[in-house]
Structure 1
Amino acid sequence: MTTSKIILVTGASSGIGAAVVRRLAADGHHVVAAARRTDRLDALAASSTGSVEVAGLDVADRAAVTALVERVRARHGRLDVLVANAGVMLLSRLDAGLVDEWDRMLDVNVRGLLNGIAAALPAFRDQGAGHLVSIASVGAHEVVPTSAVYSATKHAVWAITEGLRQEADPGLRVSTISPGVVESELAEHITDPHARDAMRTYRAASIPPEAIAATVAFAIDQPGDVDVNEVIVRPTRQRP
C-alpha cells in the first residue's frame, strides 16, 4: 500500500509535469502543483483524481521558491518529495546568438533546480528524510547541433543531482529521470526556424508523458532504504 506523501511538483502546467501531478495524486499522494500558468493548474486540479492544490511559481525566483516550500510545510507539516521538473528547451545554433534564450535556459533549468534544492534541503534535514527527483534529459548525455546550451543545462541538472546524492544525509533519496523524446509543447517554444523544423522531424517517434510519470512514481514509491538514482526513458524507436 502506498504511504501518502506531500509532494511539490514544479513546471506542472503541461507535459511531463502535469502527467506527474495526475499520476501521483491518483496514487494517493497530496500534490502541490506549481507553475507560472495558474489557469492551467486550476484546470489540472479540477480534472485530477485525488488531492491536488495549486500554486503560482517562477522557479527562477529564489525567494518565491523558498516561500512556497515554507508555505507547504506550514500547511501540511512536512514536505516529503520535490519533483524539480520545470524546464525550457530553446534550441538554436550558437552562431544564431540568441543570448536571451541561453539566459532563460540557465535561469529555469539550472538556477530553478538550485533554488528548489536550497529551499527543500532544510525541510528534509529537519524531518530526517526527503526525496529530490530531478527531470533531466537524454540531452544531459549527448550533444547535437543546436543543443549545445540546452544540453549544457541538462548536464548541469545531472551533475548537481549526482553531487547532492553523494553529499546526502542519511534518509535523503535523490533521483534523476532523463526522458528521451516525449510528447510535449517544448518544441513549440523554439524560435529558431531551423531548429524548430529539425525538432519536429526528430520528435516524430515519441512516448506520452505518462511514461515518465510512471517512472517518477516508481522511484518515489520504493521503500525508504531503496534509492533509484538514475533512469533514462526513451521511445523504443529513438536512435540515439
Structure 2
Amino acid sequence: MSSLDTKVVAITGASSGIGEATALELAARGAAVVLGARRTDRLDALVARIRADGGRAEMTEADVTHRAGPERLVALAVERFGRLDVLVGNAGVARIAPVADLDLDDWDAMIDVNLRGVLHGIAAALPVFRAQGHGHFVTTVSTSGLKIVPTQAVYAATKNAVRTLLEALRQESTDGVLRTTSISPGYVRTELVDYVEDPAQRAQAQQAMATLGISPEAVARAIAFAVEQPDDVEIGDITIRPTRQG
C-alpha cells in the first residue's frame, strides 16, 4: 500500500508535459487525481488511460486565468472524493524575447497564467484546506528564476514572484495545516517553448530541450517525493535539472 492511496490530488495544466506525467505517476502510486486544463480532449484520453490501468481519475475544463477554472477543479475533487489533499499548480506559459521588444501581449499572458493562475488556485483551495485541517500546495516554478539570462526576463520574473508568494504563504501558515513546495525544473522535454513566436528563438529553445532536456517523468517523481512525506514534513524547494545544464 502506497502512502498516496489516501491522497486526493488536483493538477492544473494536466493535459501534457509535467502535468500529464504527474497525473500518471501519482495515479500509479494510488492517488485519486482530478485533472484540469483547457484541452479537454487530451484530458479525456488521459483519464481513460488512468482508469484502464486501474487508477482513479476525474477531469474538468480549467483555464487558470479565470477564477472559475480552479474553483471548478477544486469543487470537483470535493464532490467526487470528499476532500482535496494536494493542489499541483502546474499550468504555465513561456514567451522568450528581449525586454526591448515590448511584447506586452506576451507579458500579459505570462502574468495571467504563471502568476495570476497560481493565485486563483490558492484562492480556490485554501478555504478547503483550512476547513479540513490540512493541505499541500505544490507549484511548478523554474530554474529560469534561479539563473537569470537574457530573453527570459519577464518569464523569470513571474516564476520568482510565485516563489516569493509560496514562501510568504509558508511563513503565514506555520500552524501545521498547510505545506508548500516549489518545484524548479530546468530543461524538460515538454511543449513549453513550442509557442515562442520568433522562429529563430523557438528553434534554439527547442534544440536545447531536445539536446539537454530530462523527461517529464523525472519531475513527476520529484513531485511524488514531496507529496509522500508525512504531514509534519515539508519539502520546501526542489531543483531538478539535467546534469549537463549550465
2:168 to 160, 163, 168: 163
| Structure 2 counterpart of 1:113 | 118
Does the aligned pair in 2 maintain the 1:94–1:146 contact within 8 Å?
yes
Unaligned runs of 5+ in 2: none
1:85 to 90, 93, 102: 90
TM-score normalised per structure 1: 0.96
Paired residues, what number?
239
Does the aligned pair in 2 maintain the 1:146–1:195 contact within 8 Å?
no
| Structure 2 counterpart of 1:9 | 11
After superposition, what is the alpha-carbon deviation per residue over 1:89-130, rounded to whole angstroms, capped at 9, x for unaligned? Answer: 111112222211110000000000000001111001011101
Distance 1:93 1:103 in 2: 15
1:193 aligns with 2:199: yes
Does the aligned pair in 2 maintain the 1:38–1:55 contact within 8 Å?
yes
1:224 aligns with 2:222: no
1:34 aligns with 2:36: yes
1:126 aligns with 2:131: yes
Distance 2:102 2:91 in 1: 24
- Give 1:9 shift: 0.3
2:196 is matched by which residue type in structure 1?
Answer: I
- Give 1:71 shift: 3.2
After superposition, what is the alpha-carbon deviation per residue over 1:31-83, rounded to whole angstroms, capped at 9, x for unaligned? Answer: 00100000011111122231111111100101332233223223321111000
Does the aligned pair in 1 maintain the 2:64–2:121 contact within 8 Å?
yes
RMSD of the alignment, in Å?
Answer: 1.2
2:233 is matched by which residue type in structure 1?
Answer: V
1:173 is matched by which residue type in structure 2?
Answer: R
186-195 vs 220-229, greater mean Cα deviation: 186-195
After superposition, what is the alpha-carbon deviation per residue over 1:209-229, rounded to whole angstroms, capped at 9, x for unaligned? Answer: 000000000000011111110
Distance 1:116 1:159 in 2: 16
Give the percent of matched residue pairs that are identical in Structure 1 and Structure 2.
49
112-121 vs 139-148, greater mean Cα deviation: 139-148
TM-score normalised per structure 2: 0.94
Does the aligned pair in 1 maintain the 2:10–2:84 contact within 8 Å?
yes
Does the aligned pair in 2 maintain the 1:180–1:233 contact within 8 Å?
yes
Unaligned runs of 5+ in 1: none
Distance 1:232 1:195 in 2: 25
Distance 2:152 2:204 in 1: 11
1:217 is matched by which residue type in structure 2?
Answer: A
1:68 to 68, 73, 90: 73
2:24 is matched by which residue type in structure 1?
Answer: R
